[in-house]
Chains A and B, each alone.
Chain A
Amino acid sequence: GQQVMQIPQYQHVQEGEDFTTYCNSSTTLSNIQWYKQRPGGHPVFLIQLVKSGEVKKQKRLTFQFGEAKKNSSLHITATQTTDVGTYFCAAREIKTSYDKVIFGPGTSLSVIP
């Protein structure tokens, strides 16, 4: 079955440093979504990518979808303590017989002030 992998599992950065997490799928994706989960909270939607090679920005966050639609990345510029949390990619694969949403294991970000 489909597998979604994320690296790194953990990342500790000094406030102001950049951060990147990578998401890889074993199959071609229809779209990919990114979520953030604060400690003790529930996942909150950040963005959705649909097109091959798509790049979207939200303030200090940059999201990319690979040309082959099998990988994606999230880059945070100049991290702040408010960026602390776990970042999940969620891969959606649609076939004629099923429609699944698979979350990656997440990258946990710690920001040292």
Chain B
Amino acid sequence: DTGVSQDPRHKITKRGQNVTFRCDPISEHNRLYWYRQTLGQGPEFLTYFQNEAQLEKSRLLSDRFSAERPKGSFSTLEIQRTEQGDSAMYLCASSIGPGLIDNEQFFGPGTRLTVL
């Protein structure tokens, strides 16, 4: 399978715990995006990387959230001290960039986080 993969697919955690998600993009894609989606809403932009550089980070992203892409391949998203409001689907997408004309984003299946 050469698509975007995410792990785990589901995560249930207790409030206050830390969680980490992984995303493996399509191998030749140098741009990687993280989104959060809640029921009935569109994907909410969190951050994106071009290769290993984090180029943009949403102001909605609190300091409890951190993302890395150390070697420009896979990425991790960590949420510290989880809160019930963090419960959502966390989507990863990859694309080829940069440039004015951005290619399509390919989405992974997502990690569904439930904070009890």
Sorted nearest first, the 10 A-B pairs with minimum C-beta distance are A45-B104, A103-B42, A42-B107, A103-B43, A106-B42, A105-B42, A43-B107, A88-B42, A104-B42, A42-B109
Among the stretches A56-64, A76-84, A92-100, the one at the interface with B is A92-100
Specify which chain B residues have a CB less than 8 angstroms from the CB of A68 in the assembled complex. Answer: none
Specify which chain A residues have a CB less than 8 angstroms from the CB of B107 in the assembled complex. Answer: 42-44
A30 within 8 A of B: yes
Say which size band chain B's interface belongs to. Answer: 20 to 34
Can you identify 15 A-B contacts, CB atoms within 8 angstroms?
A: A31-B101, A42-B108, A43-B93, A50-B101, A88-B42, A99-B56, A99-B98, A100-B45, A101-B45, A101-B105, A102-B45, A103-B35, A103-B42, A103-B43, A105-B42
B65 within 8 A of A: no
A48 within 8 A of B: yes
Assess whether B44 is in contact with A103, with CB atoms less than 8 Å apart: yes
Assess whether A88 is in contact with B104, with CB atoms less than 8 Å apart: no
How distant is the Cα of A106 from the Cα of B98 in the complex, in angstroms? Answer: 26
A72 within 8 A of B: no
Which residues 2-53 of B sit at the A interface, judged by CB distance below 8 A? 33, 35, 40-45, 48
A33 within 8 A of B: yes
Specify which chain B residues have a CB less than 8 angstroms from the CB of A90 in the assembled complex. Answer: 105
Assess whether B100 is in contact with A94, with CB atoms less than 8 Å apart: yes
B interface with A by C-beta (< 8 Å): 33, 35, 40-45, 48, 55-56, 91, 93, 98, 100-110
Of listed A31, A48, A99, residue having the most chain B CB within 10 A: A99
Specify which chain A residues have a CB less than 8 angstroms from the CB of B103 in the assembled complex. Answer: 48
Q: Which secondary structure characterizes the binding site on chain A?
A: strand
In-complex Cβ contact of A88 among B43, B98, B100, B109 (8 A): B43
Known contacts A31-B101, A48-B101, A99-B56; 7 further A-B pairs (Cβ under 8 A): A31-B100, A33-B105, A43-B107, A45-B106, A92-B102, A100-B45, A106-B41
In-complex Cβ contact of B43 among A30, A43, A45, A100 (8 A): A43
How distant is the Cα of A96 from the Cα of B82 in the complex, in angstroms? Answer: 34
